[in-house]
Amino acid sequence: MGENTTIRWILFFFFPALFVYGLLHVYSSKPAQAKKTAELTEMEEGGRKVYNKFCVGCHGENGDGNSMAAPFFKDKPPNFHTGVFRWKSTPEGTLPTDEDLLHVLNWGIPQTPMPSFHLVPEVQKRAVIAYIKTFSDRWKKEQPGESVYTKIKEIPPYFGTKESIEKGKELYAANCTACHGENGKGDGPIAATLPVPPTNLTYPVRAAGPSPKDTFRVLTVGLEGSPMPKFDHLSEEDRWHLVSYIAYLMNQGK
Ligand code: HEC
Ligand code: HEC
């Protein structure tokens, strides 16, 4: 009789209870799952995986730059929620192009902790770009600005000539030494007062990219959100002379 009661108890109470518990579990977890996949497209979801593998340690779980590593960096990771990007070819106040973001992932930002991901397949980089754009609503409301690269035709023939370097040197003395220092080492008189250290321009690798066009781009649009101003009030020719001088400086560091 004791055995019978136990069997009955299992059949009429325990199993139904387990079933109800199971149902509750399924229904309580389902909405959360559905929400996640409904919010992210397939590409963004793929990008989230790439992000959690390669980026999260420095950029933080929710993309605001608050990560375990950030306190140890002089150059802080950006807050992707602001939608403001520094390393881009579009005018101040506008969003970067996907190509700008891809450029940063391929080249990295030398002299800062941001590494190059040139060995990661491009599909994964495009996916992670789609994912970091989900952190700011700006991407839903605005279009990227017009890239300077579409306007730069060719590197002019006088680039890198002795005369161009000389002209660039004069322009540099008049416009750049306060921050970057007389010799370009980033040690100008006001350097220590700036929230971001001026780049050491004698370092043999350019942060903005390997081409003289990348330096020309920095001089034309500046680095938004950093003290580096744009110099579009100088003529195009003068900006190219400056690029000649900056390229020359790259071989002057010790
Ligand atoms: C070792 C740390 C580190 C890792 C790993 C890292 N980043 Fe960065 N990243 C940084 C820092 C620091 C900066 C800011 C550099 C600066 O502007 O001085 C930065 C800058 C950037 C920028 C430029 C932001 C701007 O203002 O233009 C983008 C885009 C970016 N990271 C995306 C990524 C993505 C995507 C990944 C993963 C695939 C990644 N980063 C991995 C540290 C890191
Ligand atoms: C008010 C200070 C200030 C002035 C003036 C200034 N810079 Fe900068 N510059 C900076 C800072 C700060 C950075 C680094 C920004 C960062 O890492 O986010 C920078 C970055 C750069 C970079 C990008 C570094 C790279 O390797 O690609 C270049 C190029 C550059 N400056 C050239 C110049 C030139 C040329 C002038 C003069 C025409 C100039 N700067 C004037 C503060 C200044």
Q: Does the Cβ of 180 fall within 6 Å of ligand 2?
A: yes
Two structure tokens written together for 218: 């920095």
Q: Cα separations (Å) of 166 from 102, 171, 197, 248? A: 34, 9, 26, 10
Residue 153 is predicted with a pLDDT of 83
Tell the residue nearest (CA) to atom 1 of ligand 2: 227
- Measured in Å, residue 199 CA sits from the centre of ligand 2 at 6
Q: Topology of 162-249 in CATH?
A: Cytochrome Bc1 Complex; Chain D, domain 2 (1.10.760)
Residue 232 is predicted with a pLDDT of 96
Residue 9 is predicted with a pLDDT of 54
Task: Select from 51, 56, 58 the residue to mutate for testing ligand 1; criterion: most ligand atoms less than 8 Å from CB.
Answer: 58
Going residue by residue through the chain, which has 254 residues, state the pLDDT in tens, using 9 for 90 and above.
455 555 555 555 555 444 444 444 444 444 333 335 558 999 999 999 999 999 999 999 999 999 999 999 988 999 999 999 999 999 999 999 999 999 999 999 999 999 999 999 999 999 999 999 999 999 999 999 999 999 998 999 999 999 999 999 999 999 999 999 999 999 999 999 999 899 999 999 999 999 999 999 999 999 999 999 999 999 999 999 999 999 999 978 65
Q: Looking at the CA of 178, which ligand is closest?
A: 2
Residue 74 is predicted with a pLDDT of 86
CATH of 42-150, one of 3.40.190.10, 1.10.510.10, 1.10.760.10, 1.20.1740.10: 1.10.760.10
Query: What distance separates the 2 farthest-apart alpha carbons in the chain?
Result: 108
- Measured in Å, residue 180 CA sits from the centre of ligand 2 at 7
Of residues 173, 190, 90, the one with CA closest to residue 138? 90
What is the distance between the alpha carbons of residues 140 and 133, in angstroms, rounded to a whole number? 9
What is the distance between the alpha carbons of residues 202 and 25, in angstroms, rounded to a whole number? 61
Residue 29 is predicted with a pLDDT of 41
What is the distance between the alpha carbons of residues 135 and 124, in angstroms, rounded to a whole number? 18
Q: Amino acid identity of 211?
A: S
Task: Select from 62, 114, 138, 221 the residue to mutate for testing ligand 1; criterion: most ligand atoms less than 8 Å from CB.
Answer: 114
What is the distance between the alpha carbons of residues 246 and 122, in angstroms, rounded to a whole number? 31
What is the distance between the alpha carbons of residues 55 and 68, in angstroms, rounded to a whole number? 12
Two structure tokens written together for 207: 């942060």
Show me where the domains of the chain are located.
42-150, 162-249
- Side-chain half-sphere of 134: how many Cα atoms within 13 Å? 18
- Measured in Å, residue 136 CA sits from the centre of ligand 2 at 27
What is the model's pTM? 0.87
Residue 27 is predicted with a pLDDT of 43
Q: Cβ–Cβ contacts within 10 Å for residue 250, how many?
A: 15
Residue 26 is predicted with a pLDDT of 42
Q: Amino acid identity of 228?
A: M
